[in-house]
Amino acid sequence: MSTTGETGSPDGSGEREYLLGTSSEELRRLGFQHQVWAENTAAAWRHAGFRPGQRLLDAGCGPGFASFDLARLVGDEGEVVAVDLSQRFLTHLEAEAKQREIGNIVCSLQDVENLDLPSCSFDGAFARWLLCFTARPEAVVSGVARALRQGGRFVVIDYVRYDGFTIAPSSEAFRRVIRTTGKSFRMRGGSGDIGQDLPRLLTSSGFVVERINPIVRVGRPGTALWKWPESFFASFLHTLVDLALITESDSREFTEEWEVRSADPAAFFITPPMVEIIAARQ
């Protein structure tokens, strides 16, 4: 996920970071999230033809959970350059790489909206839930385009309509929190609907869009997918209250209704509609 934007860190470091922060709790949540979505992510890499020996860019790498998978994919003959604006996340990535004795990941502290990378130096690039948090997604896309070799592929996974996140039985408390979560993205210059604009942005930067694939999943109580939004809102409800987007009463109502649905075998949710896009640099 992205680490663009600027806000105080929950741990008091004050470093620039993305909307959800860089706390230890958030780091653990991102690790769980990666596991929940690893299959969809790996499928997108296969569709793009990512393979051993390539040099790949992980844009907005966060603490590097996808970077490690990409490093295994490209092997010792390949390389992954992991770019993020959070020093805390990159420090975690570097420490993990050292502990695992992984030597083909290079960390680069920089803003994804102002990428400073050698031109035509990458075989592929990846960004997941990055552009929805960026104020200038067109700048990210153009920066990636400059860094890719001709024929290099850019894999993007992002939201098409975040407000489409749906739970059943229906809940006004849930809808209220989803609406305000989307609003919190927009307050920082991002958009939970960015997937709708991506084909245009990619084409404008010299890409040919080769694949547009919808990603929608159904979560049932007791599954790992069900825990995905649960782990997110366990911390983000506090952020929404701090931003004055919901009240403490709204937060309690959401938590209570979520607990009821978690115990209901007839309950389910539909994930926010996402899109997997693969585009080739011309």
CA dihedral defined by 65, 81, 194, 210, rounded to 10 degrees? Answer: -110
pLDDT category at 3 given cuts 50, 70, 90 is: very low
Query: What does the pLDDT read at residue 18?
Result: 52
Closest CA to 65 of 98, 99, 101, 29: 29
Taking residues 171-184, report their average pLDDT. Answer: 96
Q: Give the residues across from 64 on adjacent strands.
A: none
Q: Which helix (H) or strand (E) holds 31?
A: helix 24-48
pLDDT at 115 over 50: yes
What does the pLDDT average to over 214-225?
98
pLDDT at 23: 76
Give pLDDT, residue 24.
79
Query: What confidence tier does 15 reach under pLDDT thresholds 50, 70, 90?
Result: very low
Cα pseudo-dihedral 68, 74, 80, 86, rounded to 10: -20
**pLDDT of 277 over the 50 cut:** yes
How high is the mean pLDDT of the chain?
A: 92
How far apart are the C-alpha atoms of 2 and 275, rounded to whole Å? 17
- Amino acid of residue 21: G
- Amino acid code (one letter) for 15: E
Looking only at the bridges linking them, the beta strands covering 207-215 and 268-270 are: unpaired
* Rg of the chain taking only CA atoms, in angstroms: 18
Entry field: residues in the chain: 282
Instruction: In whole angstroms, give the CA distance from residue 153 to residue 37.
Output: 20
Question: Backbone phi, then psi, for 173, in 5-degree steps?
Answer: -65, -40
